[in-house]
């Protein structure tokens, strides 16, 4: 019995399956945490709008500096300094990633 699916199989010239197409949301849900993927919106904000990866992630997630600072247990002004830092220390990057619900590698681009 075949169950309905959102997956599409594209056959090659030899008649055998060559590609499988799945909805983007399904791909992200399945692979984002495995591969430390960074959403296009975050990359665009960081590069085109010239902002730090920390700020790009925060804005992408719809958080204020005060909300992130509260999650970190620091003042808003202390977090603002971290957010504008050129390079975060490893421990700071790990704590911030945890507060944002991402991996430290996703902050390091």
pLDDT of residue 34: 61
pLDDT of residue 1: 46
Which two tokens mark 15? 């008649």
**For the chain, which residues score pLDDT lower than 70?**
1-4, 28, 31-35
SS3 state at 14: coil
pLDDT of residue 26: 79
pLDDT of residue 25: 77
Query: Using H for helix, E for strand and C for coil, what is the string for 15-79?
Result: CCEEEEECCHHHHHHHHHHHHCCCCHHHHHHHHCCCCCHHHHHHHHCCCCHHHHHHHHCCCHHHH
Full set of structural domains in the chain with CATH = 38-107 (1.10.260.40)
Distance of alpha carbon 45 from alpha carbon 55, whole angstroms: 9
pLDDT tens sequence across 33-57: 565 788 899 999 999 999 999 999 9
């Amino acid at each position: 019995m075949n169950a309905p699916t959102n997956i599409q199989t594209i056959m090659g010239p030899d008649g055998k399956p060559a590609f499988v197409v799945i909805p983007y949301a399904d791909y992200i849900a399945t692979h984002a945490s495995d591969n430390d993927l960074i959403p296009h919106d975050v990359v665009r904000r960081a590069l085109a709008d010239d902002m730090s990866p920390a700020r790009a992630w925060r804005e992408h997630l719809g958080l204020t500096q005060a909300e992130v600072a509260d999650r970190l247990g620091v003042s808003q002004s202390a977090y603002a300094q971290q957010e504008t830092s050129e390079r975060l220390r490893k421990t700071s990057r790990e704590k911030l990633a945890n507060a944002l619900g991402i991996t430290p590698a996703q902050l390091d681009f």
